[in-house]
């Protein structure tokens, strides 16, 4: 956001003298309260200053970057997740590749009864296998997949920011979105969605539209 | 989004006087309604003003989003691009797969002398080929690649937002970053970088850190 000179000045005044009323700010700038109103409401809406009734304006301590960061970390994985594409552990490598093309996804999640996560298989895993001279019409994906507990997952209630951090850190293109299901002393993960770099790209485009 | 002077003025008018018709805005600016139409539709699409039939335009008050959108559209592809991984058209499919694994990228750019773009080859292209029973030790990538002019590219000076739009629209994981080189009546593209969904994910993470 490009702040006007006057808006920058208002932030300075509020930062140094807040809490301060609109009247007092107007006085210092030799302007009427009415003239200032649009600036004050823009700065308040942008989260750069805050208004408290009968007290006045005070500085929120948030920079523009901070406001942005707040917004990004408030978007939840559950708000943007896609439908997961799943196969069983016994599915052959050949059928997995076909499923990947038909569903047009980069990662398949391997599940057992009840949609419980067993592993994931990526384009890279499949490419390596097709290259290896295996009989891909017989080899089951269970043999080549990355198996739990080595699969990185995300929860519906995680922020997309946290999910993006996981994508980068673990160098994967997608994360299964899961719900925890108690099992004895441990837990299982039911697959309820898919979160990929494509979802992130979509969010990015929407944020840039200012929508 | 960089707004023009006129667009800024329109926002001011709508903010102060809205709801207001397109006719009325045009009158105040001494312009015809037709001249204003592109500006009004851009501002409406960007969500900065809203249009209601038989009422007119009014200010949407979406300031936080505006902050974000401005920031996002100011980041340039050149600021964040990665090193391109290139092969020649005669490289075999087998060698291309090996290069992809060694360099750990999802897309290879196929170039001729001078680094001029000939095509791109993705994991998906390679996977389809390894599945197809070809002799991948002999088949050159030139046969299976997506060839110019069907390759989508981006320029260093494009905003990452525009590049993200292209990734989504054309359903690709990466775009070659190119420099235009005049050639007769047309032009060639010299490959100078790589822009992928991974670059976008990194930007997203950094924005969320408020850094």
Between chains, do A101 and B123 touch, taking CB under 8 Å as contact? no
Q: Is A155 within 8 Å of A177 (Cβ atoms)?
A: yes
- Identify the three-state secondary structure at position B194: strand
Q: In whole angstroms, how large is the CA radius of gyration of chain B? A: 23
- Identify the three-state secondary structure at position A109: strand
Q: Which of residues 67-106 of A touch B (CB under 8 A)?
A: 67-69, 71-73, 94, 97, 100-101, 104, 106
Looking at per-residue confidence, does B49 or A29 come out higher?
A29
- Identify the three-state secondary structure at position A178: strand
Give the pLDDT score at A179: 96
pLDDT band for B66, please (50, 70, 90 cuts). Answer: low
Comparing alpha-carbon positions, the chain B residue that sits nearest to A135 is B131
CA B6 – CA B33 distance, rounded (Å): 14
Q: How does pLDDT run across B111-149, given as a tens digit for each residue?
A: 999 999 999 999 999 999 988 778 899 999 999 999 999
Q: Is A81 within 8 Å of A195 (Cβ atoms)?
A: yes
Q: What does each C-alpha distance from A172 to A65, A175, B85, B130 come to in angstroms? A: 27, 8, 19, 22
DSSP character for A3? -
A63/B contact by beta carbon, under 8 A: yes
Comparing alpha-carbon positions, the chain A residue that sits nearest to B206 is A69
Q: Both tokens of residue A122?
A: 């990526």
Flag residues of chain A having pLDDT under 70.
1-2, 45-46, 60-67, 210-211
ipTM above 0.90, yes or no: no
The nearest CA of chain A is from the CA of B147 a distance in Å of: 21
For residue B106, pLDDT over 60 is answered with: yes
DSSP character for B3? P
What is the set of domains in chain B, with CATH numbers? 5-73 (1.10.10.10), 77-208 (3.10.580.10)
Q: Residue A59: which of A43, A83, A37, A73 has the closest Cα?
A: A43
Strand spans (E) along B53-126: 56-59, 86-87, 107-112, 116-122
Q: Which residues of chain A have a CB within 8 Å of the CB of B62? A: 210
CA A23 – CA A20 distance, rounded (Å): 8
In order, the DSSP letters of A15-70 are HHH-SB-HHHHHHHTT--HHHHHHHHHHHHHTTSEEEETTTEEEE----HHHHHHH
DSSP character for B189? E
pLDDT band for B3, please (50, 70, 90 cuts). Answer: low
φ, ψ for residue B109 (rounded to 5)? -100, 135
Q: Residue B87: which of B64, B46, B115 has the closest Cα?
A: B115
Between chains, do A123 and B128 touch, taking CB under 8 Å as contact? no
Comparing alpha-carbon positions, the chain A residue that sits nearest to B208 is A69
Parallel, antiparallel, or unpaired: how do β-strands A107-112 and A116-122 relate?
antiparallel
Q: Both tokens of residue A178?
A: 């899961």
């Amino acid at each position: 956001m490009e702040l006007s000179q006057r808006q920058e000045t208002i932030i300075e005044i509020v930062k140094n003298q807040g809490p301060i009323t609109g009247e007092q700010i107007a006085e210092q700038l030799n302007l009427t309260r009415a003239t200032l109103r649009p600036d004050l409401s823009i700065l308040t809406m942008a989260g750069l200053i805050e208004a408290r009734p009968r007290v006045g304006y005070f500085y929120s301590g948030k920079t523009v970057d901070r406001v942005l960061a707040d917004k990004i970390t408030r978007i939840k994985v559950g708000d943007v997740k896609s439908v997961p594409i799943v196969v069983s552990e016994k599915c052959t490598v050949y059928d997995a590749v076909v499923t990947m093309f038909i569903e047009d996804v980069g990662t398949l999640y391997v599940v057992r009864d009840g949609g419980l996560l067993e592993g994931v298989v990526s384009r890279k895993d499949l490419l390596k296998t097709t290259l290896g001279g295996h009989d891909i019409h017989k080899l089951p994906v269970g043999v080549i997949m990355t198996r739990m507990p080595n699969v990185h997952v995300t929860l519906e209630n995680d922020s997309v920011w946290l999910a993006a951090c996981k994508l980068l850190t673990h160098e994967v293109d997608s994360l299964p979105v899961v719900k925890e299901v108690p099992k004895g002393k441990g837990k299982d993960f039911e697959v309820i969605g898919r979160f990929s770099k494509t979802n992130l790209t979509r969010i990015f485009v929407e944020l840039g539209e200012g929508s």
